[in-house]
Amino acid sequence: MTTSIDEMPQVMGADGEFHAQDEAVDLSGTTIEGWVALGFFWVLGATVFYQFFTRYVMNDSAAWTEEIARYLLIAVVFMGATIGVVKNNHIQVDFFYRFMPKPVSRVLATVVDVLRIAFFAAAAVLTVLMMLKLGSNSRMTMVDLPMNWVYGVCLLGFAAMAFRSVQVALFHRRRGYTVLERPESSMDDR
């Protein structure tokens, strides 16, 4: 099917001016993890800006900013990974699913969902065990705060990923197939 030039959307008006309208921004589908990640990101941005300002403008670098920026980046990554679980768009290989019989691919896709839940739950438990072992003795290098705050964010991320993995697995069960079985589908096909 070919499209003529007349059928295509026009951005240049008869007056020779550029006419384009942006679509309305809809943030209603943004998860709580998305907002938390955005908050950490903005705090990270402010910290890095402060570091830049003190180093290059004031010529007296604030020593704490590099360490705090590193920990904020960890927080952004763990919350961002949770968004990936919610959208079910982490790296996956669906090549072999195209050649398997449907019942076999369904069983394997369910096993993948169960293993994902088990992995994130185990990571959360291991993070708790590590935090208990460290106790309150382990402190940050430049800022006198407990390292368990950083590990607590990691724990929150792993727990959120485990919870969201359960939700994704239940959605796959209700729907009857996963993205592995039908790569053209997405979590938005509700």
Domain ranges of the chain: 31-175
> Which of 78-82, 90-94, 120-124 has the lowest average pLDDT?
90-94
pLDDT over 60 at 165, yes or no: yes
Query: Per-residue pLDDT averaged across 60-75, rounded?
Result: 93
pLDDT over 60 at 34, yes or no: yes
Which structure tokens are listed for 134?
């460290």
Mean pLDDT over the full length of the chain: 88
pLDDT of residue 151: 95
Determine contact, residues 164/79, Cβ cutoff 8 Å: no
Query: Per-residue pLDDT averaged across 154-176, rounded?
Result: 95
pLDDT of residue 8: 62
* Whether the predicted model's global pTM rises above the 0.85 cut: no
- DSSP class of 178: -
Determine contact, residues 99/106, Cβ cutoff 8 Å: no
Tell me the percentage of the chain whose pLDDT exceeds 90: 57
Query: Per-residue pLDDT averaged across 117-143, rounded?
Result: 93
